[in-house]
Amino acid sequence: MSNKLNRFFTSNGVIIVILLIVTNISIFFNIPFLREIFSILYLTILPGLIILILLKLDKLDIAKYIVLTLGASIAFLILFGWGLNQALLQMNNNRPLTTGVLLTAINAALAILLIIAYFRNKQAFYSSSIQIELNETSKWFVLSCSLLPIISILGTDLLNSTDNNSVLIILLFIIPILIILFSIFNKKISPDAYPLVLAMIGASLLFMFWLRSPHILGHDIHNEYYFFQLTLNNGHWAVYGANTLDSCLSISILPTIFQSFVHLSNQEFLFKGVFTLLCTFLPVTIFVISRKYIGDKFSFLAAFYFASQSSYLMAPGNARTNVAIFFFALCILVLFLENIGNWEKRALFLVFVVSTVVSHYSTTYIFFFLFLSALILSLVFKKFKVSKVITWAGVAFLAVVGFLWFSQVVVAPYNVAVRFLDNSLLSFQHFFMAESRTSDLGLLFGYGIKGARVLSYLQSLQSITLWITFLFIAVGVAGTFFKHKDMIDTSLQSPSKAPFLNLKFETDYFLLGLCGGIILVASLIIPFVSLGYDLIRVYEQMAVFLSVFLVTGGILLSKFIKINAHVIILVVLIPYFLFTTFAAYEVFGIHRTFILDAKSPDAAY
């Protein structure tokens, strides 16, 4: 009887009804605590849950289900919010993004989707899409990792009140220990444990930045917050001036909808918190993308590598970029997702493409050049029977949507892009001038490092570690190319198994890896590009799919030098994590604010 009750209360239909009723009541009567909790659940779960049921994708494994539900929900909020904004402004309603209007409109839209979903997929309402199976070992690991966010919160509070960061430093060493233990006991770990652990690791890392201050921290985030305040206070979105941030609905409409529902008094805290919540699941998305090719245990390490990126660690301070990268990762995931119909795949891909475009202009431009380069390279490698995943139609859709949004609706990002390309071409006359490139390039090659002896040693070790990760990626891509008969599926059918891969890479995925490497090199050596755009952001976006090649490179090297693959990969990833989180510096009493800070290395003190 208890099992039947449990299945009933966890069924999709009951969850939808509870979220709808409790959220509306808590907002209408402004019930403290309930309003905040259920509004967040309503906004992040309900739209995506209904959309996945409508598309008959309610039977996916837990990792895919989590990230697609969240992604579909956020995409719905951004796109529906903008559509509602434009429609009501045309009807002379000057405040379409207020709580009453938003709640009514979103309820109505979800009700319509709910009716359609019910007639398309009735059975989904009487069953649960969330089915987690954990053995005893997995339960202990998940329970242990569930303490990480709590330790992060307590440690950050201690740091804020007493300037004592000892708890956070301990946490930054506990995480690698758990990663090592996870690798040792990987044969005893249930598949469903991996995404749960990754989400908790991601949350614990992001909480450090989010909770460091009740105010916003970062560079561009102050301008981003200003556009959020404009939208919230005016009650509508508009193109307020010749500014590229006008095009980023991720920092205007999205947090406005959350604030309208949650109604938090500290709006800065909520603004950062929205992006912390989203980015918590970015490593899980990387895990889902990677596991198809390298299995659970190695894709776990690929996701950990992504979570170790300095730009990810500071995600709450770089809002629009990380939201766009989340949608970009979902585009990659959907394109190469198995066991999904072509219609459903196209629908999700198009939605996530549009969401990427309206979230961040630079991420969209890199997205376009990456896919266009992959298609051009596919013409070069004619000996491969190229899988029809990345198509000219898909790239054309991205180009058209980007052109219409950036040049016809908001204008500024298009003008900036034209000037950027023009300056990049003109900058080739300064190709051999070191001053024409980012200071990061100097540190990559070891010059520009100075300061105290311990500091210089640590910076040198960090530089070496970074180069080793580049080496692993290069070996992964090159090894895949030279072993293409064993590692790349050259047929147009479903990918087959490889000697040490879970499945062979599709040709298109390999070409993305190759083009990603080319884009990274270009962003370093082309003078204006090197100075004009942050290399760390480019690296984070490329890491979405290059993470799997880093692990693949480690596996190939392990076979060459006869060392266990887990060992050789962890020997690189653990120091990499400790350097990018600055834990290695803190152990020696050196306080760093930015990774590879060549301009003021003595500021570490």
- Average pLDDT value over all residues in the chain: 84
* pLDDT tens-digit map of 355-411: 999 998 888 988 998 999 888 888 877 655 556 788 889 999 999 999 898 888 887
Task: Give the three-class secondary structure for 236.
Answer: coil
Residue 57: domain span? 2-126
The β-bridge partners of 488 are 505
The HSE-up count of residue 395 (CA atoms within 13 Å, CB side) is: 16
Spatial contact of 451 and 604, defined as CB atoms under 8 Å apart:
yes
What is the predicted pLDDT for the residue at 306? 94
Spatial contact of 337 and 237, defined as CB atoms under 8 Å apart:
no
* pLDDT tens-digit map of 239-255: 887 778 888 999 999 99
Residue 541 maps to a domain = no
∠ Cα 571 585 524 (to 5°) = 70
Residue 67 maps to a domain = yes
Q: Which pLDDT band, with edges at 50, 70 and 90, does 496 fall under? A: low
* pLDDT tens-digit map of 172-212: 999 999 999 988 888 888 889 999 999 999 999 999 988 88
What is the predicted pLDDT for the residue at 383? 59
Q: 554: which residues sit within 8 A by CB, 6+ positions away?
A: 472, 476, 565, 568, 569, 572
**Residue 22 in tokens:** 């409790």
**Residue 64 in tokens:** 């895919």
Mean pLDDT of 525-544: 67
Residue 87 maps to a domain = yes
Higher pLDDT residue, 479 or 258? 258
* pLDDT tens-digit map of 538-596: 888 888 989 999 999 999 998 888 888 889 999 999 999 999 998 888 888 776 543 33
pTM here is 0.90
What is the predicted pLDDT for the residue at 1? 43
Q: What is the 3-state secondary structure (H, E, C) of 259-272?
A: HHHHCCCCHHHHHH
How many structural domains comprise the chain? 1
Residue 110 maps to a domain = yes
Mean pLDDT of 463-484: 87
Q: Which pLDDT band, with edges at 50, 70 and 90, does 494 fall under? A: low
What is the predicted pLDDT for the residue at 596? 39
Higher pLDDT residue, 481 or 450? 481
Task: Give the three-class secondary structure for 573.
Answer: helix
Residue 505: phi, psi to the nearest 5? -70, 140
Higher pLDDT residue, 501 or 195? 195
Sort residue 68 into left (φ over 0), alpha (ψ -120 to 50) or beta: alpha
What is the predicted pLDDT for the residue at 446? 52
Residue 512 maps to a domain = no
Q: Which pLDDT band, with edges at 50, 70 and 90, does 605 fall under? A: very low
**Amino acid present at 541:** Q
